[in-house]
A and B are shown apart, each in its own frame.
Chain A
Amino acid sequence: MLKHEKMKTRKISKPCCLGIESTADDFSVGISTFKGEILANVKSAYVPTEGGIHPREAARHHADMADKVLQEAFAKSGIKPSGVSIVAFSQGPGLGPCLRTGATVARALASYLDIPLVGVNHCVAHVEIGKLETGAKDPITLYVSGGNTIVSAFDSGRYRVFGETLDIALGNCLDVFARETGLRQKVGVPFGAAIEKLASKGKKLARLPYSVKGMDVSLSGLLTAAMNLLNKGQYSLEDVCYSLQETAFSMVAEITERALAHTEKNEVLLTGGVAANKRLRSMIEIIAGEHNATFCAVPIEFAVDNGAMIAWTGVLAYTHNVVTPVEKSFVKLKWRLEEVEIPWIK
């Protein structure tokens, strides 16, 4: 397919960026114009048969599906490979084998099409697509997913981390709890959704460790306590799910409110996979309201890991002279949000 395209003369009507996301269990390709019009956002999710994400298995899935996802993205966008101006990929943070698979695809495309390559920080991309989709300008962002729990805001050239988890991520906490209780993951139904459904039937609030440390939270003790509580058998699964959710969400809500009061920003952006949870949304919405801030909930398609966010952030970076030469395109498994300079915000 690619060879055929290359033969044609390049006539780029509207410059666009193809973004590849592959930090964890999703392989996704998005295409965004330089003006922020999302032309395609296609993904394929790896669903483990048992246990959590096995990095190597997930990477194999990505390698197997890359071709199909790419083709579908091209078909959906109506853009031909030759019409792509730049290739962006998530360079980190994430699981090594998964990141490397995405990076390999990105390098191959960029070299073959002879176009610039841009390495994008996954966490920055979540914030940027959130801003694009909701129109937020300068928000406090609560980014909660399977791998991240971060409260951040822009200040002096970078997104600063005001609060985060001291151990496991919120999504991770819910996922592990769901797995330990024997729930099975179904395609299209994340563990978080299963917990949310169970929690909505819970009534009795059990006392669980509430661990807010300054603007940080600690969730591992809560997870252990919730599992012990369930094993003791005094509370039903629904009640434990309810208690776990209420306690964990109250904790992240509290640190979000702290950061909001501290920075006095007037927008709150909620993103990441856990943003799909309606209860969490309502909590953050209440907090935003109390501080006269606008609540910006990112549409689920763009809140979960997606290629469009990488494409759009690639556009922002490239148009501000950030490119990643192939020899410097190694993946960064532990690339923190605050390490990235953000030249596109003045």
Chain B
Amino acid sequence: MDKVSRQVLVKKGAEANLYLASWHGRKVILKKRLPKKYRPQALDDQIRSYRTIHEPQLIHEAKKAGVPTPTVFLVSVKEATIIMEFIEGKQLKHLLSEVSPAKRKRLCLKIGKLAGKLHQHGIVHGDLTTSNMILGKTGKIYFVDFGLGEKTDETEARGVDLHLMKRALQSTHFKFADKCFQDIIEGYQRVLGVECAKNVLDKIKEIEKRGRYIVERKM
């Protein structure tokens, strides 16, 4: 860890701070899960170490599944830190509002395909929002922040994952959220097949109905 130099805070997240740093001559991201004073220490330690262990595992699994993710270089459970590759590019959160409808459609199809690949390989991301996707310089979309992810094949977990995606679109990109989500599902279906995608869609409807004050709506 002591070899990490020139740390610059790039993002003060809710869960962790991200520092742009230099490590063995590389530009890296140092992700540090700082202790949270608001929760009891025992619970805090549990959550931070659990996520520090699981995130790199899932990042690795996702890469194996063909989903671009940053390469993990070093993990310290004790300090709750992860050193990983710095992905240069633009967050989809900003990009989606700037591009043309045609380009937006292409991006959403791609997001859907990548989400499909994750689910196909038994991974749910846990926080599928456009803030956690980066369009790299080579045109690849990288998925980052697997801190809330898990390994599971359950339709329920897949449904929650995409339900979150939908909700994130609605709160951040409400003007074209519906269209984006449609395209994402289209891409998702191309990977997982019509039947499997339909099961997940039905699950999303079920999850929505479980929520507070949901009148039955058309998807």
Q: Which of B36, B38, B148, B211 touches A214 (beta carbons < 8 Å)? A: B148
A274 to chain B: which residues have CB within 8 Å?
none
Q: Which of A262, A284, A338 touches B14 (beta carbons < 8 Å)? A: A262
A214 to chain B: which residues have CB within 8 Å?
126-129, 148, 164, 167-168
Known: A160-B174, A261-B13. A253 touches B127 (CB 8 A): no
B211 to chain A: which residues have CB within 8 Å?
164-167
Partner-binding segment picked from B21-29, B42-50, B64-72: B42-50
Nearest-Cβ distance from residue B213 to partner chain A, whole angstroms? 4
- The answer to whether the Cβ of A212 comes within 8 Å of any Cβ in the partner chain is yes
Q: Could you tell me the distance between the alpha carbons of A210 and B40 in the complex, rounded to whole angstroms? A: 13
Chain B residue with Cβ nearest A220 = B210
Q: Could you tell me the distance between the alpha carbons of A54 and B15 in the complex, rounded to whole angstroms? A: 40
- The answer to whether the Cβ of B196 comes within 8 Å of any Cβ in the partner chain is no
B214 to chain A: which residues have CB within 8 Å?
334, 336
B210 to chain A: which residues have CB within 8 Å?
166-167
- The answer to whether the Cβ of A314 comes within 8 Å of any Cβ in the partner chain is no
A213 B14 Cβ-Cβ under 8 A: no
- The answer to whether the Cβ of B160 comes within 8 Å of any Cβ in the partner chain is yes
- The answer to whether the Cβ of A19 comes within 8 Å of any Cβ in the partner chain is no
- The answer to whether the Cβ of A235 comes within 8 Å of any Cβ in the partner chain is no
- The answer to whether the Cβ of A80 comes within 8 Å of any Cβ in the partner chain is no
B38 to chain A: which residues have CB within 8 Å?
250, 253, 282-284, 286-287
CB within 8 Å of B: which A203-225 residues: 205, 207, 210, 212-216
- The answer to whether the Cβ of B215 comes within 8 Å of any Cβ in the partner chain is yes
A330 to chain B: which residues have CB within 8 Å?
none
- The answer to whether the Cβ of B120 comes within 8 Å of any Cβ in the partner chain is no
- The answer to whether the Cβ of B78 comes within 8 Å of any Cβ in the partner chain is no
Q: Is the interface of B mostly helix, strand, loop or mixed?
A: loop
A334 B213 Cβ-Cβ under 8 A: yes
Across chains A and B, which 7 residue pairs bring their CB atoms closest together, nearest first? Answer: A334-B213, A214-B164, A261-B14, A257-B14, A258-B14, A250-B39, A283-B38
A246 B43 Cβ-Cβ under 8 A: yes
A156 to chain B: which residues have CB within 8 Å?
174
- The answer to whether the Cβ of B131 comes within 8 Å of any Cβ in the partner chain is yes
Known: A205-B40, A205-B42, A210-B43. A291 touches B164 (CB 8 A): no
- The answer to whether the Cβ of A260 comes within 8 Å of any Cβ in the partner chain is yes
CB within 8 Å of A: which B170-219 residues: 170-171, 174, 207, 210-215
- The answer to whether the Cβ of B37 comes within 8 Å of any Cβ in the partner chain is yes
Q: Could you tell me the distance between the alpha carbons of A149 and B213 in the complex, rounded to whole angstroms? A: 12
Q: Could you tell me the distance between the alpha carbons of A250 and B42 in the complex, rounded to whole angstroms? A: 12
- The answer to whether the Cβ of B12 comes within 8 Å of any Cβ in the partner chain is yes
A334 B215 Cβ-Cβ under 8 A: yes
Known: A165-B212, A167-B210. A205 touches B43 (CB 8 A): yes
**Interface footprint category on B:** 20 to 34
Chain B residue with Cβ nearest A334 = B213
- The answer to whether the Cβ of A96 comes within 8 Å of any Cβ in the partner chain is no
Q: Could you tell me the distance between the alpha carbons of A166 and B210 in the complex, rounded to whole angstroms? A: 7
B39 A246 Cβ-Cβ under 8 A: yes
A205 to chain B: which residues have CB within 8 Å?
40, 42-43
Nearest-Cβ distance from residue A126 to partner chain B, whole angstroms? 14
Q: Which of A162, A210, A283, A290 touches B47 (beta carbons < 8 Å)? A: A210
0 or 1 for each of B114-154: is its CB under 8 Å from A? (1 = yes): 00000000000011110100000000000000001000000
B39 A291 Cβ-Cβ under 8 A: no
Known: A205-B42, A261-B13. 11 other contacts (CB 8 A): A93-B213, A164-B211, A166-B160, A205-B40, A213-B160, A213-B164, A214-B128, A254-B14, A257-B14, A282-B38, A334-B213
12 A-B residue contacts at CB 8 Å?
Answer: A93-B212, A155-B174, A156-B174, A212-B148, A214-B126, A246-B39, A247-B43, A250-B36, A254-B36, A261-B14, A262-B131, A338-B170
Q: Could you tell me the distance between the alpha carbons of A253 and B126 in the complex, rounded to whole angstroms? A: 18
Q: Which of B40, B46, B207 touches A166 (beta carbons < 8 Å)? A: B207
- The answer to whether the Cβ of A141 comes within 8 Å of any Cβ in the partner chain is no
0 or 1 for each of B155-175: is its CB under 8 Å from A? (1 = yes): 000001000100110110010
Known: A207-B46, A216-B167, A253-B39. A164 touches B14 (CB 8 A): no
CB within 8 Å of B: which A156-179 residues: 156, 160-162, 164-167, 169
A273 to chain B: which residues have CB within 8 Å?
none
- The answer to whether the Cβ of A32 comes within 8 Å of any Cβ in the partner chain is no
- The answer to whether the Cβ of A147 comes within 8 Å of any Cβ in the partner chain is yes
B164 to chain A: which residues have CB within 8 Å?
213-216
Q: Could you tell me the distance between the alpha carbons of A283 and B44 in the complex, rounded to whole angstroms? A: 13
Nearest-Cβ distance from residue B48 to partner chain A, whole angstroms? 12
A216 to chain B: which residues have CB within 8 Å?
164, 167
CB within 8 Å of B: which A47-93 residues: 93
